[in-house]
Chain A
Amino acid sequence: MSSSFRIGDLELHSRLIVGSGKFKSFEENRLALDASGTEMTTVAVRRVDLTTREAGSLLDWIPPDRFHIMPNTAGCTTAKEAVLTAQLARELLDTKLVKLEVIGDPRTLFPDTVATIEAARILVAEGFTVLPYITDDPVACMRLEEVGCAAVMPLGAPISSGLGIRNPANIRIILESVSCPVIVDAGVGTASDAAIAMELGCTAVLMSTGIAAAKDPIKMAHAMKLAVEAGRAAYEAGRMPRRLHAQASSPESGLIDLP
């Protein structure tokens, strides 16, 4: 087991954070969370549909006494919307955590950096533990740390794209530029993507579709657990330097002679 880490007041052991989007059922979602070993999950908040009677609640399957629940502000396009959504979520879930998302473009779902920083400043002042989704922009991450975010969460690739870590160099620069936890949020498509994020030195990885859209989400949740653990262990172990040319790994003396 690799070392634990802190987000705000929380100490976490699992470096995998699993969203609750796109699962086929509440039951599948819960089984995937259990298989992933995660201690934290994200949820969205939306208007209650008043035309249908409530058919069970997500929170009945993902009880707040079993998982740390981090509400998100997904779908918000202004700082004002994101702040009210976070305030409602805090009242609903009795948590200071918020995954701050302010979407700047509906086609790419890239964040609005300016509005994200503005909302982060307001939410930090209101006592929230703010984890913002942001592009892999080191300067944006620095600004978010300056306004008091508990972590920064650069995307590896567009949301639900499964394209993996498209710019590992920027993730490395972000890791050098901030001292708060760096959590790759979005883009992870398979286990090796998660391992790469962890080998770069990221604190944790947040994913949802990478698990939920797999043919067997519960098995993929387990694969992601192993990948995150392996990637973290490899980071802590320190990889060997890369070389362009081969270097024999068996002794070059003492070889037998043929007659």
Chain B
Amino acid sequence: MRTSAPRSISAQARDFEGPLTRFNLGELSANVPRVKYVLNGESHETPAPLSVLDLLGRFDLRRQRVAVAINAEVVPKSRFAEVFVRDGDKVEVIHAVGGGA
């Protein structure tokens, strides 16, 4: 099972990211730690930390309508807020589409 990022670090990072984001500098600053990951086959890079819930928010996805696997392991919906995407992770986000017989 994947482990959560230590609470103190993520809380610090949130404090750090908050004011920068307000001035639209968050994504430009070289000082913000970043995470590189592959989402549905495409490479992405985002300021860390990035929980699964944050990831869904970035792409306007409703958590009730998707399921997520990281490195071929399903992330339970109940843990979206506490599981973090790590450098090099392969993330799959799926939804239901028409199909059958």
Give chain A's interface residues, CB within 8 Å of chain B.
Answer: 17-23, 29, 41-48, 50, 53-54, 57-59, 69, 71-72, 74, 84, 87-89, 91-93, 99, 159, 185-186, 188, 206-210
Interchain CA distance A207-B67 in the complex, whole Å: 26
**Are A47 and B40 in contact (CB-based, < 8 A)?**
yes
**Are A209 and B96 in contact (CB-based, < 8 A)?**
no
- Flag whether B62 is at the interface (Cβ < 8 A): yes
Contact with A along B60-101 (1 / 0, CB 8 A): 111001111100101111000000000000001111111111
Instruction: Quote the shortest CB–CB distance from A210 to chain B (angstroms).
Output: 8
Q: Inside 8 A of A17's CB, which chain B residues have their CB?
A: 101
**Are B98 and A44 in contact (CB-based, < 8 A)?**
yes
Give chain B's interface residues, CB within 8 Å of chain A.
Answer: 39-42, 59-62, 65-69, 72, 74-77, 92-101
A-B contact number at CB 8 A: 117
Interchain CA distance A43-B42 in the complex, whole Å: 25
Q: A46-B95, A47-B41, A54-B60 are in contact. Are A88 and B67 (CB under 8 A)?
A: yes
**Are B98 and A58 in contact (CB-based, < 8 A)?**
yes
Name A84's contact: one of B61, B72, B77, B98 (CB within 8 Å). Answer: B72
Nearest 3 pairs between A and B by C-beta?
A: A19-B100, A44-B99, A42-B100
Sample of 18 more A-B contacts, CB < 8 Å, known A44-B96, A45-B95, A47-B40: A18-B100, A21-B98, A22-B98, A29-B98, A41-B100, A44-B98, A44-B100, A45-B67, A48-B59, A50-B39, A50-B42, A50-B93, A72-B99, A72-B100, A74-B99, A87-B69, A92-B94, A207-B100
